[in-house]
Amino acid sequence: MPEINITLPDGSVRQYPRGTSAMQVAQSISEGLARVIIAAKVNGQVVETTRPITEDATLTLLKWDDKEGKSTFWHSSAHLLAEALESLYPGVKFGIGPAIENGFYYDIDLGNHKFSSDDFAKLENKMLELAKQENPFIREEISKADAISYFTEKGDELKLELLQDLKDGEITFYKQGNFTDLCRGPHLPHTGHIKAVKILNIAGAYWRGDEKNKQLTRIYGITFPKKSELDAHMQMLEEAKKRDHRTLGRELEIFAFDDDVGPGLPLWLPKGAAIIEILEEFAKKTEKEAGYVRVKSPHIAKESMYIKSGHLPYYQDSMFPPMEMDGTKYYLKAMNCPHHHKIFAATPKSYRDLPLRLAEYGTVYRYEQTGELFGLMRVRSMQMNDAHIYCTKAQFEEEFRAVNDMYLKYFRVFGIDKYMMRFSKHDPRKLGQKYINSPELWIETENMVRNVLIKANIPYVEVEDEAAFYGPKIDIQLWSAIGREFTIATNQVDFAQAERFDLSYINEKSERERPLILHRAPLGTHERFIGFLLEHYAGKFPLWLNPEQVIILPISEKYQEYSEKVLNVLKKHDIRALIDDRSEKTGKKIRDAELKRLPLMLILGEKEQADNTVTVRKQGGEDLGSMPIEAFTAYVKAEVEKQMN
RNA sequence: GCCGUUGUAGCUCAGGGGUAGAGCACUUCCUUGGUAAGGAAGAGGCCAAGGGUUCAAAUCCCUUCAAUGGCUCCA
């Protein structure tokens, strides 16, 4: 029998008969290995362990710990879920059932059956029962005609619809126990690997993601090869909930919502407002250094401006309905751009005025759909770190890069190391509908943006059909510590509105010329950014940003007077401090200060009073010992300075 | 907007057809205590709102509002 060479990840090469499977290779190494492998990567392609290998190949045996291993495990679990559902609810129809980042789901049409969270346990038990049977996943290549007749007989029109898009010759079925599914695989060797099952939740989901289609029932679940791993995962979810910005925002008294104020309209409590002011001060300083000038604009504008800007036909549904006065409609502003364009137009401009960078922490209102509201992440009123840069084509690249540099500075200050720039482009098929109909300008500006990104060596991904209607944009994706993804900031090119507002400047040859416009908001909105920071820092705002930097903890009421003296010194140095003067023990006061995530605690008693010193405890327990008050204020200032640069 | 779930004290939650409960927080008193919870007492709720069923509704049903998990959307 002809032999093939199998190269393993450590570089070793072994000979096997042609048609050997990954499982057989694993068995030849050790039985223990064979028991835990989930799938195999053959020449870069993930396949099931039973697939015969017919040519020389590099082979990686995938276990639970491998990303692809988990994905295979969960995809197979989706099939197990389907098998359990079919056994409990005969006649149920199946859409798609993929693995996701944490678990899997299956979209199903239950027909007349009812399924609710009360049935989760029943479903979990059924899945475990089927898993125990250790049914192998069997792959079968099938002709399109046979596949169609199988699902026609079964009456599953969802699968039939999926089949329409598949080519004859590349269709496979996977079968385990009594369940057969259309699937390209790969799958586990058998269902017995699945030892722990949790149905997480149930949701409606439009068939193929289109809201015009029928809504199916989506069942989310997660499975593990060990019960202990499931327990650990559930515990992790609990921990994540404690880091949720909504939980922290309430605990730390940062923001609140109120039914009478309205959904999506956050109230900033004193500490939240303090954070906002610190952020603004920081942003304003940074922008001033970068040559921005500040402007102010009203919160409403006449309908005519939004018709001129072109926003109305595209975004009317996302704006609050107009108010009418003296026969004229006024809208709450949903974006600052048109106002800034009007500010540009208010005085004549020469090329000597460019680049002109107009900045404003503008408040805007957007009528987000009720179901889209989410804590501080999706709200209806927001304050945006907005600015518009008007420049010549020749200046564009430099300006765009300067904006990117500002982003990178912010990331450093806030300790953000996981980010991705998403370069959003137009979709040529939607010109004139979703996008301004200027095909050449789209290509030209998209190339300019790409060039900057490449030259600056910034990691990015390109996505189609995500641009703003007036030009391409870059969105900055961040991930909070609990893994939630945020689109925080945006950086957009605008080649359309200068035309619409008839904005121009006089160039060196005394000719009128249109400026290019850059929209940018590195810190996004206060709402979303502070929501992100809450999760990012787990509520532990760093010293420079914390609304309460220092708490003074007198050991007893006897040291109240000395505490006030220290407080006054701190205040003179613009250090944000307060005294915990309750008649509680020091241990209690420290505990409460820790729960409030205060960065520095000053413990003051007899010794400190006598020596005119303070004893410093850092958040988390680190003891900095005693020092004179002046040494402490110098320490705070140095820390703040260090953190902000 | 759509599908599912949930609304009980400031927070976290228990209870459940016969006019409300715990812990924490809060107030007062005692205590004056040196690095993550000292003690006692007190105050707090039309059980989201509206309607219905019932002798009786916080509890069952309907509607609305809000939150929440998703879907769709996100200038």
pLDDT digits (tens, 9 = 90+) for A63-88: 888 888 888 899 999 999 999 888 88
Distance A620 CA to B39 C1' (A): 28
> For the sheet containing A138-141, what is the strand order?
A138-141, A172-176, A179-182
The whole-number Å distance from A170's CA to B19's C1' is 70
Estimate in Å the CA A621 to C1' B36 gap, whole number: 9
What is the predicted pLDDT for the residue at A42? 84
Nearest-nucleotide field for A204 (CA, C1')? B3
pLDDT bucket at A588, cuts 50 / 70 / 90: very high
CA–CA gap between residue A48 and residue A46 (Å, rounded): 7
Q: What pLDDT, on a 0 to 100 scale, did the predictor assign at position A21?
A: 83
Q: What's the Å distance between residue A376 CA and nucleotide B17 C1'?
A: 41
Q: Which nucleotide is nearest to A215 (CA to C1')?
A: B3
Which residue approaches B31 most closely, CA to C1'?
A: A583
Query: Is the separation of the CB atoms in A59 and A42 below 8 Å?
Result: yes
SS3 A372: helix
- Looking at residue A377, what DSSP letter applies? T
Q: Provide the pLDDT for residue A1.
A: 55
Give the residue among A257, A335, A343 at the shortest CA–CA distance from A299.
A335
A467 CA: nearest nucleotide by C1': B75
CA dist A129 and A127 (Å) reads: 5
Q: Name the residue type at position A134.
A: E
Do the Cβ atoms of A361 and A527 come closer than 8 Å?
A: no
Please check the confidence at residue A230 and state whether its pLDDT lies above 90.
no
Most confident of A166-170, A299-303, A421-425: A299-303
The candidate with the shortest Cα–Cα distance to A465, out of A453, A457, A473, is A473
| Long-range contacts, A231-237 (Cβ 8 Å, 24+) | A233/A102, A233/A198, A234/A198
CB A268 within 8 A of CB A531: no
Q: Which residue is nearest to nucleotide B39 (CA to C1')?
A: A584
How confident is the model over A334-349, as pLDDT tens digits? 999 999 999 999 999 9
How far apart (Å, rounded) are the C-alpha atoms in residues A183 and A528?
Answer: 40
pLDDT of residue A630: 95
**CB-based burial label for A360 (10 Å; 0-12, 13-18, 19+):** buried
Closest C1' nucleotide to A591's CA? B36
Q: Provide the token pair at A567.
A: 């407080």
Q: Could you tell me the strand order of the sheet in which A57-62 lies?
A: A13-17, A3-7, A57-62, A39-42, A45-47
Q: What is the ipTM of this complex?
A: 0.93
Residue percentage of chain A with pLDDT more than 90 = 43
Nucleotide nearest to A114 (CA to C1'): B4
10 Å CB burial of residue A173 (0-12, 13-18, 19+) is middle
Question: How many CB atoms are located within 10 Å of the residue A628 CB?
Answer: 12
**Calpha distance A70→A234 (Å, rounded):** 17
A252: left (phi over 0), alpha (psi -120 to 50) or beta: alpha
Task: Over range A409-430, report the average pLDDT.
Answer: 88
Query: In this predicted structure, what is the pLDDT of residue A201?
Result: 81
What per-residue confidence (pLDDT) applies to A286? 96
Domains of chain A: 3-62 (3.10.20.30), 67-235 (3.30.980.10), 255-536 (3.30.930.10), 550-644 (3.40.50.800)
Judged by C1' against the alpha carbon of A519, the nearest nucleotide is B75
Computed on alpha carbons and rounded to an integer, the radius of gyration of chain A in Å comes to: 31
Residue closest to sugar C1' of B75 by CA: A468
Which bases in strand B are touched by protein, i.e. have an atom under 7 Å from a CB?
Answer: 1-5, 11-12, 26, 29-38, 65-75
Gap from A367 CA to B61 C1', Å: 34
Q: Which nucleotide is nearest to A377 (CA to C1')?
A: B74
- Exposed/middle/buried for A468, CB within 10 Å: 0-12, 13-18, 19+? buried
Residue among A371, A301, A353, A370 nearest A331 (CA)? A301
Distance in angstroms: CA A230, C1' B23? 29
Mean pLDDT of chain A, nearest integer = 89
Q: Is A272 helix (H, G, I), strand (E, B) or coil?
A: helix
SS3 per-residue string spanning A155-169: CCHHHHHHHHCCCCC
Distance (Å) from CA A227 to C1' B14? Answer: 29
pLDDT mean over A550-565: 94
Whether A221 shows a pLDDT value over 60: the answer reads yes
Please report, in angstroms and rounded to a whole number, the separation of the first and last CA atoms in chain A: 68
Confidence check: pLDDT of A112 > 80: no
Q: State mean pLDDT over A387-399.
A: 92
CB A603 within 8 A of CB A585: no
Residues of chain A above pLDDT 70, percent? 100
Measured distance CA(A215)–CA(A218) in Å, rounded: 9
**Residue with smallest Cα–C1' gap to B30:** A583
Query: From the CA of A557, how many Å to the C1' of B42?
Result: 24
φ/ψ (deg, to 5) at A404? -60, -40
Judged against a pLDDT cut of 90, whether residue A163 lies above it is answered with no
Secondary structure, 3-state, A292-343:
CEECCCCCEEEHHHHHHHCHHHHHHHHCCCCEEECCEEEEECCCCHHHHHHH
Helix axes of A270-289 and A393-413: crossing angle, nearest 10 degrees: 140
Is residue A476 pLDDT above 90, yes or no? no
Which pLDDT score, from 0 to 100, does residue A205 have? 83
- Distance in angstroms, CA of A275 to C1' of B9? 30
CA of A238 to C1' of B55 (A): 47
The confidence score (pLDDT) of residue A279 equals: 96
Q: Which residue has the tokens 């369940």?
A: A179
Q: What is the pLDDT of residues A261-311, one digit of tens each?
A: 889 999 999 999 999 999 999 999 999 999 999 999 999 999 999 998 888
Instruction: Quickly give A271 CA vs B66 C1' distance in Å.
Output: 25
Residue A335: predicted pLDDT = 92
Q: What is the model's pLDDT at position A6?
A: 81
Cα A575 to Cα A209: distance, rounded to the nearest angstrom: 52
Pick the range with the lowest mean pLDDT from A298-307, A465-474, A502-511: A465-474
- C1' nearest to CA of A116: which nucleotide? B4
Given this model, what pLDDT does residue A300 score?
93
Q: Which two tokens stand for residue A513?
A: 């010329």
CA of A136 to C1' of B6 (A): 40
Q: Which residue's entry shows tokens 């989706």?
A: A78
Q: Which nucleotide is nearest to A468 (CA to C1')?
A: B75
Give the H/E segment covering residue A362.
Answer: strand A356-365
Nearest residue to B71 via alpha carbon and C1': A205
Bridge partners of A3, per DSSP, are A17
